[in-house]
Amino acid sequence: MHINKIVATLASLGTVGMLTSAPGVLAQAPIVIKFSHVVAINTPKGKAAERFKELAEKATHGRVKVEVYPNSILYKDKEEMEALQIGAVQILAPSLAKFGPLGVKEFEVFDLPYIFPTVTALHSVTQGAVGQQMFKKLEPKGITGLAYWDNGFKVMSANKILKSAADFKGLKLRIQSSKVLDAQMRTLGANPQMLAFSEVYQALQTGVVDGAENPPSNIYSQKMHEVQKYISVTNHGVIEYAVITNTKFWNSLPADIRGTLEIALKEATAYGNSIAQKENDDAIEAMRQSSKTSIYVLTDAERAALRKTLLPVQKEVAGRIGKELIDSINQTVAQATVAK
């Protein structure tokens, strides 16, 4: 039977995976990796995902095809974790604030306000033993942690300047699905509202919420600054991501492919982390130039006062995320800060 007839028959049988690369030659179809995320491409995570795609496809000589679905176009916050677990998508990079609903609340330790004074301190955790230990918590959920990606320090957006706890009183502020962030906002006297990232712009525009928190790159890339009169540079916490995969899928890969993807991911991680700070600095500058919003940078004294107000959150959530974990992160950070 002629080759075209074979392919037509296979296709009619809905047989996937057999493609012709040349007459008479049946090539194996590429392994498709769907990589879904919720932010714009022009952000640290968006660019790191595109770089992973480029490196993975090149290094595997096309044996792997990475399909990146940015900006919640494939799955939104709530859906993506379930999609990963059922194997409908193969890689995600959710914020560490979004693992509570999965039953892995320990990652909310990264949401503690002012727990990381610098990126170096953050990296002492994400690139050290504590970060690796935390990935073990994902295993019972059928999820493998592959890497940590940076975004940056969060700022606050609202239609008023937010520089002291009193300024937050009574405001409806959007948060990610994290009980630590809930405690943070309540400690400031605000009223936290959990919303998916894809819903934040409209919630700000219509007044469903009064403000939100995010690194500048997320605010700018989603045009949130166009519906918020003030950006208050509090740098009160971080957004960090875990690049995760479906364990069954990952272990089913040919060992050479898996090894090549691990190298590609390592390079994409280094790239993403190397551009994150500049992406956020550029976003602040772009918002400043846009004249759509005003940027207020808190003074050291104002930031210190906010930090003092928020420190008790660590005690309040210790029962949820574990006092030992909080202590180990504080010790790791202290060592990194002294060593610097």
Residue closer to ligand LMR (CB basis): 45 or 47? 45
**28 CA to centre of own chain:** 33
Q: Quote the DSSP letter at residue 163.
A: -
C-alpha–C-alpha distance, residues 317 and 314, integer Å: 6
Quote the tokens at residue 179: 């009980």
Which of 31, 33, 39, 173 binds ligand LMR (CB under 6 A)? It is 39
Q: Quote the DSSP letter at residue 98.
A: G
Which of 36, 178, 218, 221 binds ligand LMR (CB under 6 A)? It is 218
**Helix, coil or strand: residue 6:** helix
C-alpha–C-alpha distance, residues 332 and 75, integer Å: 35
Reference 112, options 334, 273, 305, 318; nearest CA is 318
Q: Which residue is nearest to ligand LMR (CB)?
A: 95
Residue closer to ligand LMR (CB basis): 58 or 78? 78
296 binds ligand LMR (CB under 6 A): no
222 binds ligand LMR (CB under 6 A): no
- Of 75-114, which residues contact ligand LMR (CB under 6 A)? 95
Residue closer to ligand LMR (CB basis): 95 or 184? 95
Q: At closest approach, how far in Å is the CB of 312 from ligand LMR?
A: 24
Residue closer to ligand LMR (CB basis): 220 or 260? 220
317 binds ligand LMR (CB under 6 A): no
**285 CA to centre of own chain:** 22
Site stretch for ligand LMR (CB under 6 A), options 38-46, 51-59, 161-169, 319-327 = 38-46
Helix axes 323-339, 313-321, angle to 10 degrees: 120
Residues 151 and 280 sit within 8 Å (Cβ to Cβ)? yes
Which of 151, 221, 228, 234 binds ligand LMR (CB under 6 A)? It is 151
Residue closer to ligand LMR (CB basis): 38 or 64? 38
Binding mask 159-198 for ligand LMR (x = CB under 6 A): -----------------x--------------------x-
Burial of residue 308 (number of CB atoms within 10 Å: 0-12, 13-18, 19+): exposed
What does the angle CA 298 – CA 304 – CA 306 come to, to the nearest 5 degrees? 75
| Interface contacts to ligand LMR, rule CB under 6 A | 38-39, 45, 95, 151, 176, 197, 214, 218, 239
